[in-house]
Structure 1
Amino acid sequence: SLLALKAMGVSKVIVVDIMENRLKKALELGADAVINGKEADTSAKILELTGKRGCDLSIETAGSEVTAAQLIKVSKKGAVVVFVGYSPSGTMTLPIGMALDKELTFKTIFRYRNIYPLAIEAVSSGKANIRNIVSNYYELDHIQEALTDCVGNKAEIVKGVVKVS
């Protein structure tokens, strides 16, 4: 999401996560600011970083009711909130009254469906440099290790790639 936003010319991108390695990687990839949601009041920090104006566009990728509510809280009047993350239960309770007061627009997308041509163009044109997003490489002979590591070690592995040659 960070790379896509930067490729589309978004001027300021703030990334929130609870895993330090992902936050470090976000800074390497061009995030203007990062917030560790376990260590800071995310809403207060976003408002501070935006001069109390809030966000024009927010993308929720965690599938968390907490983060979805935070984005509604820090959105400007008339902003857009995009829901990408799928909650484990498939349901969320959100502050809809606040969303109505702010006249927010909600958009949803399931696993970035129908945007592959745009993504391919962004990568091939150099607008999105995906090379640096990968933190771990594995040979095809070690695919089981790759799967085990990527599922069981999310705090350390940002993106894993299995090389097929």
Structure 2
Amino acid sequence: MKTVIVTGPGTTGIKEVPTPSAGPRDVLVRMRASGICGSDGYYVSIGGIPPRQGETPLGHEGAGEVVEVGSEVAGIAVGDHVVINPIAPDSGMIGSGGPQGTLSEYLLVENAVLGTSLAIIPDEVPFDVAALNEPMAVARHAVNRTGVRPGDKVVVFGAGPIGLGATIGFKLSGAASVVVVDLLPSRLEKALAVGADAVINSAEEDVATRLTELHGAGVTAFGKPRAGTDVYLDAAGAPIVLQTALANAKQHATICVVAVHKKPVEVDFGAILDAEVNIVTSMGYPTEIFEVTKEIADHWEKFAVIISDRFAFEDAERALETAATPGAADKVVVTIP
């Protein structure tokens, strides 16, 4: 079979490797789609991950069809459409230093347990949309970390894949209003398409003024005027986002950071003390990897909006280049015949 690997700093290749076979406790999946994550571009840039540096398999956002089932595996049948938990294998994380990646024609799910290492997704969900399961689990964990309650007013900064996934998650959690902030009109259009109640173009509008118009007025503990927003989500990773959130947060508002900040962000806690804000962070998906699967199944048309570019497997290297090029694409998915 063919698999996509890092061959050196900044270089990738498609390599022929033996097709695995399922043992008694394993499941063999014919991969049908794999999303490209920002971490894939990072692994390419550094030449892979030890001990497989120079030959690191890529891809951890996978969906496919079961073609072999071990005799001791329960609840899974040949022909099932499945999504993969990349952090489950004992042999190493799929596509992140382990011996396999989802950018492959086949993937061996070792010691397969339904609901732990893979989950079945309805056949009507397109494989490219199903492949969003892993990043949407990241988004769902961020939503869960905010403690959002029905009726809350939410603002999401950043209309990339995680921000859009979180927008869907907030609405499914009962948020009364979800406002999305971004600089790009095309991304804001997607935000409305997935269910945002309103959008703000921060290049053209004053965010604080618009949030107060949309969410009403709030105050700090000492009565200083603030926006009436209950939850702020940073899915953008720009210092101005946290500065804006902290400057506008009312008393007991929650600010959650799911974006990766590559440089330290200075925070003046003295200036925000009377807001008594709750600051939380969100990393990965401790329990959400398959919590989000049913949401995708039930609302796959909305999640499909998140995909910006699709590439065939033979163009996987170009897909990686496109995903790593700033501004070239939002969410790239490789489809595998």
Bin the TM-score by the shorter chain: 0.7 to 0.9
SS at the partner of 1:130? helix
More displaced, 10-19 or 111-120? 111-120
Deviations 1:119-138 (CA, angstroms, capped at 9, x unpaired): 22322344994122212211
Residue 83 (structure 1) shift: 0.8
CA contact (8 A) 2:256 2:281 kept: yes
d(CA) in 1 for partners of 2:305, 2:317: 23
Unaligned runs of 5+ in 1: none
Counterpart of 1:9 in structure 2 is 174
Letter in 2 for 1:74: N
Equivalent residues in 2 for 1:53-64, closer than 5 Å: 53=218, 54-64=228-238
Do 2:193 and 2:302's aligned partners in 1 also have CA atoms closer than 8 Å? no
Match of 1:124 in 2: 297
Match 2:201 to one of 29, 36, 49? 36
Say whether 1:25 aligns with 2:199.
no
Conserved? CA contact 2:183–2:203, under 8 Å: yes
Distance 2:329 2:192 in 1: 16
SS of 1:77 mapped into structure 2:
coil
The match for 1:77 is 251
RMSD: 2.1
Percent same amino acid at aligned positions?
26
Whole-Å Cα distance in 1 between the matches of residues 212 and 297 of structure 2?
35
Structure (1 or 2) with the greater helix fraction: 1
- Asked if 1:137 is matched to 2:310, the reply is yes
Query: Contact (CA 8 Å) 2:238, 2:261: kept in 1 or not?
Result: yes
Residue deviations 1:60-109 (CA, integer Å, cap 9, x gap) = 111222111111222221111101112112x2112322432111111101
Query: Which structure has the bigger radius of gyration?
Result: 2
The residue number in structure 2 matching 1:161 is 333
Normalising by the residue count of structure 1, what TM-score does the alignment of the two structures yield?
0.87
Q: Where in structure 2 are there 5+ consecutive unaligned residues?
A: 1-165, 219-227
- Deviation string 1:6-26 (CA, Å, 9 cap, x unpaired) is 121211011011122111110
SS of the residue 1:69 aligns to? helix
Partner of residue 47, structure 1: 212
| Alpha-carbon distance in structure 2 between the residues aligned to 1:25 and 1:127 | 14
- SS of corresponding position for 1:141: helix
- Letter aligned with residue 162 of structure 1: V
Give the structure 1 partner of residue 273 of structure 2.
Answer: 100
Which protein is richer in strand relative to its size?
2
- Distance in 1 (alpha carbons) for counterparts of 2:246 and 2:300: 29
Task: Provide the C-alpha distance between the structure 1 equivalents of 2:185 and 2:302, rounded to a whole number of angstroms.
Answer: 21
1:86 aligns with 2:239: no
| Matched positions, count | 163
Give TM-score, length-normalised by structure 2: 0.45
State whether residues 15 and 33 of structure 1, in contact with CA within 8 Å, keep that contact through their aligned partners in structure 2. yes
Corresponding letter in the other structure for 1:117: F
1:108 aligned partner, one-letter code? T
**Matched residues in 1 for 2:320 and 2:186: separation?**
19
SS of the residue aligned with 2:246?
helix
